[in-house]
Amino acid sequence: MRERGAALRGSTTGLREHQSGVMRTPSTRVSRKKVTPRQHTTVIHTAPGATAAHRSGATPLHRYTAARPSRVVYHDQPHRIAHTYHYEHAFRDRYDRLHHRAVWPRYSCVVGYHHGPRYSYRHFYPYYHRKYVFVSLGGYWPLSYRYRRYYWYGYHPYNWYGYYPLAREVYTGSYSYYTYNYYNNDSYSSAPVTESAVFEQLGQQPAEPDQATLVDAYFEEAVKGFEAGKYDLAVEKFARAMELAPDDMVLPFAYSQALMADRQYSKAVEVLRAALAKVSPDKEGVFYPRGLYPEEERLLAQIDDLAEKAEMFSSDADLQLLLGYQLLGIGQVDQALAPLMFASKDLGNADSAAVLLRLLEKIKTSNAEGEGAAPKPGSVPTPPQPLTPAPVPGTPQSNATIKGDSIRLKEGTLLATLCAAGATAGIRHFSKG
């Protein structure tokens, strides 16, 4: 009876926790406050994701992981992902206090991104945002796009910051903007940003999105199908969207990724080549739809399978091009060098490989100058519209030191040398786990 009573009390406690939305974990502090998203749902990403090596019974040759620069640390909120509108925006102020505010369709704030000497500021509409899907590897985004699908499923420039990251306020003394980067609390310096440059970026961006169209509906259905693992459905919906919006320069990258996930490698490379052919050196419109996957383990497993296929058919330049693009998309810059070098020697893939290699070199240069750099207080001019008001002075709360794992892989240079030497025995795209 005593054991039965203890079990009954444990089950009712679990039921109350389930109904209240509080999930108790050993590494998470649980509070009795009513608003506790940080304590039971905020996922702090500071280490690379799991790899295909975690699959039971598998001994993969290619242990790729999603690399992230050591100066990019974000707090993701996957529990907030929903294919609907949001009426609340959560953020942390400069004292690390969690705030929730009601939002409406026209409400927007300014989010800033920094990547070495590069920077990007843009309007963000939390009411429409569902989750981030794209990474603009070169930082470029067509600012004239008012398509609702990209307000629903937005992009990060330069690096991946999660599906639904928790914004952090950066207060400079007279104004504030938001960032998703929690690295080092903005205490490091970067090159000053001119007022005209920021105003030009924000001034070119449209206010609210256009009304939803049939293309937006197809895109939404494709994203939902992809999340559910129905890649054939995602391929069909992305294809229909492309037929109705042939000038959209972002759509082909999502379509190519769906084809890759569906193991239609030849078609995926064909679509990727066509998309890269439209990339101009000054715009660098290369996008990677990393957020299509509900979790990164699935993405990494597919890249590992593609790497095994590329090793099996080591002379297939199409597979090498597709593999190089995938590795570049997850931040494996050094590892992407070898397959892209191999693809560049093929006449049909030379131009596409040259676009990715040029982007790769720029990314490496920015990485060397400092990933995720944030501006000095006062170096960024006042945004054209007010953001959150200055908080009431108080005693700052101490923040835990957040460290990001930095993965430095050097085998890519050696593999590129083997490619240039014309090695025919096959190339093992191997990275140490």
Q: What is the pLDDT of residues 222-263, one digit of tens each?
A: 999 999 999 999 999 999 999 999 999 999 999 999 999 999
Q: For residue 23, is pLDDT > 80?
A: no
What mean pLDDT is predicted for residues 190-213? 64
User: What pLDDT score does 165 carry?
Assistant: 96
Mean of per-residue pLDDT scores for the chain: 75
| pTM to 2 decimal places | 0.71
- Order the strands of the 287-288 sheet from edge to edge: 153-157, 131-136, 287-288
pLDDT tens, residue by residue, 387-397: 333 333 343 43
**Do the beta carbons of residue 335 and residue 433 sit within 8 Å?**
no
pLDDT at 160 over 80: yes
| Among 43, 101, 35, residue whose Cα is nearest residue 391 | 101
pLDDT tens-place string over residues 267-277? 999 999 999 99
pLDDT at residue 307 greater than cutoff 80: yes
How much is the pLDDT for 369? 74
Average pLDDT over residues 118-142: 91
Alpha-carbon span 161 to 164, nearest angstrom: 8
pLDDT of residue 123: 86
More confident residue, 211 or 66: 211
- Residue 379 and residue 350 in contact, taking contact as beta carbons nearer than 8 Å: no
Instruction: Dihedral sign for Cα 181, 184, 185, 187, please.
Output: negative
Domain ranges of the chain: 214-367
Q: What CATH code is assigned to 214-367?
A: 1.25.40
